[in-house]
Amino acid sequence: MKLPYRNKAFIPPEKINNYLLSLTHEKGKHKAVFFRKLGFNETNISLFENALLKIAQTNNVYSCRNIINSGIYLGKSYAIVGTITGKNGSANIKTVWCILKNRKKPNLVTVTW
C-alpha cells in the first residue's frame, strides 16, 4: 500500500530547521549529526526535504496505526522505510507520516533509522 494523498505530503520547515538538522535541539541533535554525515545541512535544505518526500511518494507503507487520544480518533500514522541519499552517502531510514481525520495532507512526524 502507498501513503494516501502522498503527492500532497508536507514537511513543516521548522521540522527540518529546528529539529532534524538542529545541533542544539535536545532530542533532535543526534539526528542532525546523522544527516550532516550524509551531507545534509542548512545550505541544501530543499535537497533534504525532497529526499524525504521521495520516500513518502514512492515507497510502500509498512505499518499503519490509528491515532487515538482520550478515546477520540484523530487520524492515522504511517511508517515508511526508504533510502535517503545525500552528497556524502546514503542510508536506510524510517519516516513516520500523519494524516489527521478529515485532512488529505500527510505531515512528517519523525525520522529514525
- Per-residue pLDDT tens, the chain, 113 aa: give them: 999 999 999 999 999 999 999 999 999 999 999 999 999 999 999 999 999 999 999 999 999 999 999 999 999 999 999 999 999 999 999 999 999 999 999 999 999 99
Residue 1 within a domain: no
Residue 101 within a domain: yes
Global pTM reads: 0.95
For residue 3, give the DSSP letter: P
Q: Which residues contact 53 (CB under 8 A, 6 or more apart)?
A: 9, 11
The parent domain of residue 27 ranges over 6-112
Residue 39 within a domain: yes
Residue 77 within a domain: yes
Total domains, the chain: 1
Residue 12 within a domain: yes
**N-to-C CA span, the chain:** 21
Residue 107 within a domain: yes
